[in-house]
Structure 1
Amino acid sequence: MGASCEVNPVRCLTARRWKVLAVAAFLVAIGLAVLLYGIASREVVPPEGSRVSEATGQEKSIAVLPFNNLSGDPEQDFLSDGLTEDIITALSAIPRLFVVARNTSFTLKGKSVNVKSVGQGLGVRYILEGSVQTEAGRVRITAQLIDAVTGNHLWAERYDRELKDIFALQDDITLNILQSLQLTILEGERHGPAAGPPKSLDAYLKLLKAKAYFMSSKRADNEKARQLLEEAVLLDPEYPSGYALLARTYLREVWLAWSSDSANALRMALEFAEKALSLDPNDGSNHALISQIYLFQEIYDKALIEAERAVSLSPGSVEGYISLGMTRCFSGQFAEALLAYKDALRLDPAPPGGLYYQIGNSYLMMGNFEEAGKAYRKLLAVNPNSLWAYVGMASLYSMSGLTKEAIEAGKKVIEINPYFSLKNLEEISPYRNPGHKERLLDALRKAGLK
């Protein structure tokens, strides 16, 4: 980014707004965003064949349930959700602790749960739950750590502090959990960002609000998130999380075909991701993010290096494994991709359903039609109207020579999304080997899709 952008990055960002593509491009691409970021409401059951069950009964395994918002204002959910997410991220950085990923934990948001059942279902020994309430510049937080096997409370605390102390409260909760589980932080390990907490409380609150908008996968909300993030990094120019999420808003433009110039959108994403990485080089999620950008730029070797680095730095984070799986899959390393995806499922037993689509596609390209069908059917069990499940089934039937069934699945695709387009699918499928992409597209053409 040039010197003028360093002086006023918001002005440079504003100059790079993109035109919206046709409605057709928007609707078909929505499915891909759900594949990577969506959080579906579903029963929390460890998937068959997943290694999450190995954590059952392990002494060092935990699920952090979404903290309840007691403010009475749903608009304040961003704070309780953000606190939950920050604690999950901090605990996930400890290699000796198995932590269930955010997606799975948040399927339980707002639900009355039985701790023992949740522990058994998620395969964890301990459960952290709590609540958040804000009023007149103060925050009240309760937190309790429970043994899911015995039901005993190992640690509980009530905090009543000024809102500006929330970073210290997060640290205190995390350290108390580790102490209660008799886990120590070894030299070189971390339980928070290397850059430390943001220097501005307002910047942090803007980031949390931006995250809430970003999770919706809607273009208007993506714009709102970006505006908040631009404001956040102006308030705190050394805030790595702000730059990282800002990069994701540009990457999403590519995934959802919102940008009329994907190359420029990817360049903007890479600039902000590199800024985040320069401020916090040991954050695995930053490497996972850059891996995904390189993948869409078709710089496969660098994408693989960054994905592997992400997993090495944050072995307890699901994002690194997803990035590694994606890079391997689109590079033609389908068996190796499955290993990464299964590690993602181990950490996130109730993932966005689209992960099963990726698993199915890996099996499909290997010619293992039986396992591909199982993966697509798991996606249908999660969401009976999943566009991507029927895209997968259409390609599977077509490659299997079951033309009639393929056409029926293709009709279901169009019924779910009349604007589905192979052209858009091609643009967001960065296979290294053109033959792999053409094989998939040819199968879908035979299923009657265009």
Structure 2
Amino acid sequence: MRYLFENCALDTDRRELRRGAELVAIPPQVFDLLDYLIRNREHVVSKDDLINAIWKGRIVSETALTTRLNAARSAIGDSGEQQRLIKTLPRKGFRFVGLVREAQGGGGAATADNPGQPPKPALALPDKPSIAVLPFTNLSSDPEQDYFADGMVDDITTALSHFKALFVIARNSSFTYKGRSVDVKQVGRELGVRYVLEGSVRKSANRVRITGQLVDTATGAHLWADRFDGGLSDVFDLQDQVTESVVGAIAPAVEKAEIERAKRQPTESLDAYALYIRGLARLYQFNRQANEEASHLFNRAIELDPDFASAYGRAAYCYVYAKANGYFAITPDEIAKMTRFAQRAVELGKDDAIALATSGYALMYVACDLWEGATLIDRALGLNSNSAEAWSNGGWAKNWLGEPEAAIERFERAMRLSPVDLTAGRMRSGTAYAHFLLGHYDEAASWAAIALQDNPDLQPALRQAAASHAMAGRADQAHKAMARLRQLNPTLRISNLRDVLGPYQHTEDFARYADGLRRAGLPE
């Protein structure tokens, strides 16, 4: 087993610890102590537990235990003062609190900051009922109806996520299983959920049939199954019935009033909603042409349904990707257009977490209205604490407000809610930037490298890699990242850097980042 955390990899089969590409020599007892703490990271480990596990119950002094703990911390870049990874709880014991990813065997020199292929996380179950809604199978002969099936899953996921008694995996992670034959037990391990909802949609003429089944991922047992038939005019009522049945199966204590509050129709127009779903599919392709197509689709959805709050929020969000990647110049006219979309999303979506989170982030990043944007994102989190997107956007808000510790906590929450998210690069690059603000340049470079695994051209991550390596004194790696960044965005300069970066509460944060990029080779 290999445990990956920050820029470290602990290989229990080879009994090796690596930090970055470096093999760290540690005594056998220190290795065993690290292994024991990481394997038991879900709870506090007492001194007696450690003595029994490492010294097999032999009598050892307090000094010996403290010495081994200090050596373990030093080996992984932690310290007794920071306690960033190994935390001491007075009169209780110790706990490994770092974010850990697990990979099976082998791996050679692969480490947490460059593991080759990203490992599938083996996640512990949350302390409340947890569920992932997998993509529904389209049983219609028309492949265009994939969008309809995807929309059904999106709405069911959204409705379930409003229940604070449930832990709901975000849509982007669930949809990585689309078109694949899956083992629900494996899905449960990879997403860290106890239950999986599977289903199918058959749409013919003006009728629709939705089937669903709830599966226990630990045993593979079917806990619930049902079928719903109706006309297209009743499709959202059918969705609500599916949602009610699933919630009733896994959380019978949830009151009917909560179920009623969770019933939401994002739009009365199926045509507009289909356009919205297609826009999302384009948005997540992360390139200039796809971003332009997504913007067009969201605008068409708005034309068909002028009260579609989330479509306005997504239309505003297209400007975020354009600014972050230099797709076109963000002129005052473009900012005004984006602001109109965002404000309309807020007006129409006062209780719509996605509308608030997307429009808030766009106002913050594109219009540099930091406080208004941060307030809207906090409102979104109050409405839906299961929104990985809102937590991720909120992490960036905390970065720009100069609160990197809080940012890291928000990104961790986002990544836990959606472990295999299509937008995971944003979460990881945000974590990298938070570490940069804290002066943890090695950790920042490590997270930037992880962000670049899925998308080697992610410009925010390239900027963070360049600046972090430069500040850590690794000129060659800094220049390499900068060379790729300048290929993608040749007009980027120190003088126009503020046009690409977000708002800053503290000018010294911007100044240090600019200095890192300057050292990496970004011209004035």
TM-score (norm. length: structure 1): 0.79
1:306 to 366, 376, 381: 376
Distance 1:413 1:340, change over 3 A: same
1:60 to 107, 126, 129: 129
Deviation at 1:395?
1.5
Higher helix share: 1
Aligned to 1:128, the other structure's residue is in SS state strand
Name the counterpart of 1:365: 437
1:127 to 196, 206, 231: 196
Name the counterpart of 1:93: 162
- 1:302-355 deviations in whole A, cap 9, x for unaligned? 222222222111101112211211111012211111111111111111232232
- 1:86-141 deviations in whole A, cap 9, x for unaligned? 11111111101000111211111111111011112211100011122333333332
Residues 132 and 139 in structure 1, CA contact (< 8 A), matched pair in contact too: yes
Deviation at 1:191?
1.4
Does 1:356 find its partner at 2:445? no
AA of the residue aligned to 1:403: A
2:389 to 282, 301, 319: 319
Deviation at 1:291?
2.1
Deviates more, 1:347-356 or 1:403-412: 403-412
Deviates more, 1:124-133 or 1:251-260: 251-260
In structure 1, how many angstroms separate the alpha carbons of the residues matched to 2:478 and 2:306? 52
In structure 2, how many angstroms separate the alpha carbons of the residues matched to 1:392 and 1:228? 32
- 1:149-178 deviations in whole A, cap 9, x for unaligned? 121111112334333332122111111111
Give the unaligned 5+ runs of structure 1: 1-41
Residues 381 and 387 in structure 2, CA contact (< 8 A), matched pair in contact too: yes
Residues 214 and 249 in structure 1, CA contact (< 8 A), matched pair in contact too: yes
Name the counterpart of 1:430: 502
Residues 209 and 230 in structure 2, CA contact (< 8 A), matched pair in contact too: yes
In structure 2, how many angstroms separate the alpha carbons of the residues matched to 1:258 and 1:205? 26
Residues 62 and 100 in structure 1, CA contact (< 8 A), matched pair in contact too: yes
Identity %: 34
1:172 to 222, 228, 241: 241
Q: Which has the higher contact order (CA 8 A, sep 6+)?
A: 1
2:476 to 399, 404, 407: 404
Structure with max Cα Rg: 2
Residues 213 and 225 in structure 2, CA contact (< 8 A), matched pair in contact too: yes
Deviates more, 1:316-325 or 1:242-251: 242-251
- 1:39-60 deviations in whole A, cap 9, x for unaligned? xxx867338xxxx6342xx551
Residues 60 and 97 in structure 1, CA contact (< 8 A), matched pair in contact too: yes
AA of the residue aligned to 1:322: S
Does 1:376 find its partner at 2:445? no
Residues 254 and 265 in structure 1, CA contact (< 8 A), matched pair in contact too: no
Name the counterpart of 1:11: none
Name the counterpart of 2:409: 339
Deviation at 1:429?
0.9
TM-score (norm. length: structure 2): 0.69
Aligned to 2:228, the other structure's residue is in SS state strand
AA of the residue aligned to 1:326: W
Does 1:210 find its partner at 2:279? yes
Distance 1:368 1:260, change over 3 A: closer
- 1:394-450 deviations in whole A, cap 9, x for unaligned? 2122101232342244345457x3747346654221241333223223222222234
Equivalenced residues, count: 400
In structure 1, how many angstroms separate the alpha carbons of the residues matched to 2:451 and 2:279? 29
AA of the residue aligned to 2:465: M
Name the counterpart of 2:492: 421
Residues 53 and 122 in structure 1, CA contact (< 8 A), matched pair in contact too: no
Residues 314 and 355 in structure 2, CA contact (< 8 A), matched pair in contact too: no
AA of the residue aligned to 2:416: R
Deviates more, 1:160-169 or 1:381-390: 381-390
- 1:257-300 deviations in whole A, cap 9, x for unaligned? 44544433333333233333333312222221232133122222
What's the C-alpha RMSD, in Å, of the aligned pairs? 2.8
Distance 1:186 1:267, change over 3 A: farther
